[in-house]
Amino acid sequence: MNTYNRCAHLLNGGMLAVLWGWSLWVFDHLPDRIPMHFDAAGIPDRWGAASWGNWLLVPLTALGLAAMMYGIAWGVSHIPPKHINMPRKDRFLVLPPEAQGRVVGVLRAMMYWLTVPMVVIFMVAQFSMYAAARGQGTLLSGAMVWVIVAMLIIEVLITIGFMWWLYRFIEQLSASTPEA
């Protein structure tokens, strides 16, 4: 595993651990009701009982989506190359298996790095639920909205950046492979 992927794994694992640890730690300090949904203005518009199921729904969803992203990254390494959708697929398919493996490594890295801002969004959502439940204002309507918007923009930029990198990487590998 390269340092680039290791960094993504540490960020994802660390943030999920913080999200879970903090959520479990503050559960006993929750009031009887917690917000379950926020409207477009950032105001809680649905409330539920402060049960373990309701409170841990956000961390469970974050963990499930992170597992799905890592599952996709694993899966892309274990399916035939002809079933992988990517830019310059025609050139990718004529690359030797070693070069195809390097390209698939870029796809795996993209999935790992797309998970980072996604987990941040869930951390912000859980913190906002806690703040609103405790009557500490609706943080979702202020700076937290900008954090979520920034993370969504980062998701798009990560995707565009990796696709551009992948396109250029396949072109470079194709040019250096005699039979491509």
Residue 65 structure tokens: 């989506």
| Closest residue by Cα to residue 104 from 148, 146, 73 | 73
86-90: long-range contacts at Cβ-Cβ below 8 A with a sequence spacing of 24 or more?
A: 86/166, 86/170, 87/163, 87/166, 87/167, 87/170, 88/166, 88/167, 88/170, 88/171, 88/174
Give the total number of structural domains in the chain. Answer: 1
pLDDT along the chain (180 residues), means of 10: 88 98 96 88 86 96 98 94 88 92 93 96 91 74 77 93 92 78
Q: What gap in Å lies between CA 61 and CA 122, rounded to an integer? A: 8
Structure confidence at residue 138 (pLDDT): 58
| Secondary structure of 78-136 as H, E, C letters | CCCHHHCCCCCHHHHHCCCHHHHHHHHHHHHHHHHHHHHHHHHHHHHHHHHHHHHHCCC
H/E element, 172: helix 143-176
Residue 54 structure tokens: 């309701």
Structure confidence at residue 153 (pLDDT): 94
| Closest residue by Cα to residue 116 from 8, 23, 2 | 8
Structure confidence at residue 61 (pLDDT): 97
Task: Write out the residue range of the structural domain in which residue 11 sits.
Answer: 3-176
Burial 118-127 (b: 16+ CB within 10 A, else e): bbbbbbbbbb
Q: Which residue has the tokens 């969803």?
A: 61
Structure confidence at residue 139 (pLDDT): 52
